[in-house]
């Protein structure tokens, strides 16, 4: 599995390019509209966020939302669906598209599939007059931070502590669901990526996160929660005092202008 939407976004980072024209030609992103399509997407989501029972989104709710104008797509490689994305119209703070789930199968990580799905979503939103796409991601997951801030060039709107409460899927179970809420504007010809900073030369505030919190979470709950509370306090304090996240570094640090 792979960066972060919603109660969880699990994307595919790897060596994704920063131009639509550079997306791997083997990847075909298709808009999903039928019940058969929706079943395929739900299987991707349920494999990514596995639970003992139940599903990430019920078939009747997904059908109602797609029929009413929500976005659902699947990414295909060699005729096989290996990723999916789901988003719906939202009205808080003005009309926008909220991207709830984006997932790529473990077997196809690091192939640019997550990037292809997000670029298709960006174009879909732009074509329909949505000025902005929002989603959430876990601030401790460095791959997500790199993908969102650098590859896609999103802005951070706010820090949401334990936003979804306790989550039942295997990926998030036992942790608190802190999330960063992002804003991805749809103006211009294409999204504008940022440069990954190798060092902090501008006197910015840096907040370090672990290289792989998912691995830490799986073996050491206490260590995971130490990171969770430390980063929560640092980021929330900086953001509430007017700080702005302006980048991410090769040392797994958020860079903030305060």
pLDDT digits (tens, 9 = 90+) for 148-177: 999 999 999 999 999 998 765 555 555 799
Residue range 235-239: average pLDDT? Answer: 97
Split into its structural domains, the chain has a count of 1
Query: pTM, whole model, 2 decimals?
Result: 0.87
Whether residue 208 lies inside any domain: the answer is no
Whether residue 238 lies inside any domain: the answer is no
Reported as a single tens digit per residue, the pLDDT across 74-98 is: 999 999 999 999 999 999 999 999 9
Whether residue 162 lies inside any domain: the answer is yes
pLDDT at 63 over 50: yes
Whether residue 218 lies inside any domain: the answer is no
Whether residue 57 lies inside any domain: the answer is yes
For residue 39, the enclosing domain spans 20-194
Whether residue 86 lies inside any domain: the answer is yes
Q: Is 211 exposed, middle or buried (0-12, 13-18, 19+ CB in 10 A)?
A: exposed
Whether residue 12 lies inside any domain: the answer is no
Tell me the C-alpha distance between 204 and 181, whole Å: 21
What CATH number corresponds to the domain at position 155? 3.40.630.30
Q: Is 154 exposed, middle or buried (0-12, 13-18, 19+ CB in 10 A)?
A: buried
| Alpha-carbon dihedral sign for residues 30, 33, 36, 39 | positive
Reported as a single tens digit per residue, the pLDDT across 171-222 is: 555 579 999 999 999 999 999 999 998 877 788 999 999 999 999 988 999 9
Whether residue 246 lies inside any domain: the answer is no
């Amino acid at each position: 599995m792979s960066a972060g939407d919603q109660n969880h976004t699990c994307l595919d980072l790897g060596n994704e390019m920063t131009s639509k024209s550079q997306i791997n030609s083997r990847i075909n992103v298709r808009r999903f509209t039928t019940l058969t399509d929706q079943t395929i997407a739900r299987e991707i989501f349920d494999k990514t966020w596995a639970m003992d029972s139940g599903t990430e989104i019920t078939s009747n709710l997904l059908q109602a939302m797609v029929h009413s104008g929500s976005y659902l797509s699947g990414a295909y490689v060699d005729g096989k669906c290996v990723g999916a994305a789901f988003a719906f119209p939202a009205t808080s703070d003005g009309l926008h598209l909220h991207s709830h789930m984006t997932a790529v199968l473990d077997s196809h990580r690091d192939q640019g599939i997550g990037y292809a799905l997000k670029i298709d979503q960006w174009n879909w939103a732009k074509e329909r007059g949505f000025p902005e796409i929002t989603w959430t991601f876990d601030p401790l997951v460095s791959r997500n931070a790199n993908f969102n801030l650098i590859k896609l060039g999103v802005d951070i709107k706010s820090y949401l502590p334990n936003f979804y409460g306790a989550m039942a899927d295997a990926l998030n179970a036992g942790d608190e669901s802190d999330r960063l809420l992002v804003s991805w504007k749809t103006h211009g010809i294409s999204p504008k990526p940022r440069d990954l900073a190798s060092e902090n030369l501008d006197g910015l505030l840096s907040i370090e996160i672990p290289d792989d919190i998912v691995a830490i979470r799986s073996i050491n709950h206490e260590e995971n929660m130490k990171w969770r509370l430390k980063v929560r306090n640092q980021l929330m304090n900086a953001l509430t005092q007017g700080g702005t996240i302006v980048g991410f570094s090769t040392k797994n640090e958020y860079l903030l202008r305060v």
